[in-house]
Amino acid sequence: VAMITPWNWSINQIACKVAPALATGCTMVLKPSEIAPFNAVIFAEIMDEAGVPQGVFNLVQGDGPTVGAALASHSDVDMVSFTGSTRAGIAVAQAAAPTVKRVHQELGGKSPNIILRSADFSAAVAAGVRRCFGNSGQTCTSPTRMLVPAERMDEASSIAAREAVALVVGSPSDPRTDLGPVASAAQFDKIQALIERGIAEGAELVAGGPGRPSHLNSGYYVRPTVFARVTNQMTIAREEIFGPVLSIIGYDSEEEAVAIANDTPYGLAAYIQGDPKEARALAGRLRAGSVRLNSAAWDSAAPFGGYKQSGNGREYGKFGLHEFTEIKGIAGFLNE
């Protein structure tokens, strides 16, 4: 198995691939992100100290176009397990196609967070903002599209703005910090361009905006940004920003909320806040690989993966184990 992992949540993404591969008897070559390579070195040292036999776990450093492409196309690799952007996932699948190997992908997302009329509105909006901005927004499952009843748009935007302004942006080494910097200059520039695009396309900026927070004059720090009265056709509602930027979209009926939630090329995760029975009934209608109801905690036994351009295959629990196995049918008589 070739494993290609991302720079965000990097050690988690390594562990959730290596563990099931080991458990099912696979040998593996890991290529971590060239942006965050050192945690993989520590992981390799741990594997060696644990006594994993030589040649079972292998680490190769390098970039995607060079090392990643070589692994994906190599005839001795039976499977590629990839986590990263949809753009890179397409390139991996294309490189793997000539050797007809299995490709397991966990890609991007643009996750909806539907707040029903039955929800504890203030608490649900506040929690949605915090979940969106976790890890400085650099999470594939971030609920970046908040869907609220149209008649409560002003209330939602006010609550969201208050939550965003209260967040402390600063050094990760400072215990008071809520949001650290984003990963790189390229990531910072992309986020800034998309914030500017949101303003240009007519979304209502209610918190944050372009540039760094006023107390920081250097570093890749992004202002926690909230847009209200966003339409689902705007760029900020279509593209994965991968930064602390929230879009609030209004809906008139649950039917419309479901339609908006599903109107995306992605399908990694979705969230619903409200009466548990209503939320559960709605969950089955969302085209997403995982749906969390009322801020439910992460469950590592639940399958994780996407629909549509968010990928294929599943990680975690027994579903993650099955991805690293092949089915063999044997027919015959034992007494022959």
Active site residues: 106, 140
CA dist., res. 320 & res. 48, Å (int)? 24
Residues ≥6 apart with Cβ < 8 Å to 264: 110, 112, 145, 232, 238, 308
Q: How many helices (H) and strands (E) does the chain have?
A: 11, 13
Nearest to 108 by CA among 267, 299, 236: 267
With residue 195 as reference, give the H or E element that holds it: helix 185-200
Residue 312's DSSP bridge partners are 105
Is 80 in contact with 90 (CB distance < 8 Å)?
Answer: no
Going by their DSSP bridges, the two strands 102-106 and 311-312 should be labelled as antiparallel
Nearest to 178 by CA among 157, 161, 191, 164: 164
**Three-point CA angle 288, 192, 69, nearest 5°:** 60
Is 132 in contact with 244 (CB distance < 8 Å)?
Answer: yes
How far from the centroid of its chain's Cα atoms is residue 242's Cα? 9
